[in-house]
């Protein structure tokens, strides 16, 4: 398996992975909408042979420092729990850090995301319509975010998710 940036020839396969993982089309639509709006920063695919088996998107986030939103992350159901999601997230974090981003915010299950260093306590001081125990932040390049309070604003496409 390799992890690489998406290319236009992956778009249809990414839709299939997103729909299969979430059993609905909202996340696949989010990916298409983020891309169309120019808000996607890193969109990574996990590929085995010719087949896309996983996908992770990192998009622009308005924050008091340069920060990204991680969402969605999806792995084909038959390939879950084999380390694919972990590879995608770790490579995305490394890309983000080396490109100079200072933090990543994710909305998800702390039981899964804490292994990467995402921490709900670090996100608690930020206002957002999505604020709550499932909002987590990961500082990049240092152990703390540049500021611990402020407002964060996800790309407009997230509003459609409800």
Ligand X SMILES: CC(C)(COP(=O)(O)OP(=O)(O)OC[C@H]1O[C@@H](n2cnc3c(N)ncnc32)[C@H](O)[C@@H]1OP(=O)(O)O)[C@@H](O)C(=O)NCCC(=O)NCCS
Q: Which residues of this chain interact with ligand X, rule CB under 6 A? A: 21-22, 71-75, 80-86, 108-109, 111-112
Distance CA 82, CA 85 (A): 8
Smallest distance from ligand X to CB 42, Å: 15
Closest CA relative to residue 111, chosen from 85, 129, 79, 93: 85
Smallest distance from ligand X to CB 126, Å: 19
Per-residue CA distances from 64 to 89, 120, 127 (Å): 23, 17, 11
* CB closer to ligand X, 21 vs 145: 21
Closest CA relative to residue 41, chosen from 100, 112, 127: 100
Smallest distance from ligand X to CB 146, Å: 25
Q: What angle do CA 35, 111, 4 make, to 5 degrees?
A: 35
State yes or no: cis peptide before 26, omega within 30 of 0. Answer: no
Smallest distance from ligand X to CB 133, Å: 14
| Block residue for tokens 């920060």 | 67
* CB closer to ligand X, 12 vs 23: 23
* CB closer to ligand X, 45 vs 73: 73
Residue with CB nearest ligand X? 85
* CB closer to ligand X, 90 vs 148: 90
């Amino acid at each position: 398996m390799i992890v690489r940036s998406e290319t236009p020839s992956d778009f249809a396969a990414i839709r299939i992975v997103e729909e299969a993982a979430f059993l609905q089309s909202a996340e696949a639509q989010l990916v298409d909408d983020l891309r169309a709006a120019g808000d996607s920063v890193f969109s990574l695919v996990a590929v085995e042979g010719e087949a896309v088996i996983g996908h992770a998107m990192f998009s622009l986030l308005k924050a008091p420092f340069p920060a990204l939103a991680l969402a969605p992350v999806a792995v084909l159901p038959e390939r879950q729990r084999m380390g694919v999601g972990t590879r995608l997230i770790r490579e995305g974090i490394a890309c983000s850090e080396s490109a100079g981003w200072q933090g990543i915010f994710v909305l998800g299950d702390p039981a899964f995301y804490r292994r990467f260093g995402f921490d709900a306590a670090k996100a608690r001081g930020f206002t957002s319509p999505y604020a709550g125990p499932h909002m987590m932040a990961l500082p990049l390049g240092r152990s703390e975010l540049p500021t611990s309070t402020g407002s964060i604003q996800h790309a407009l496409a997230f509003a459609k998710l409800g």
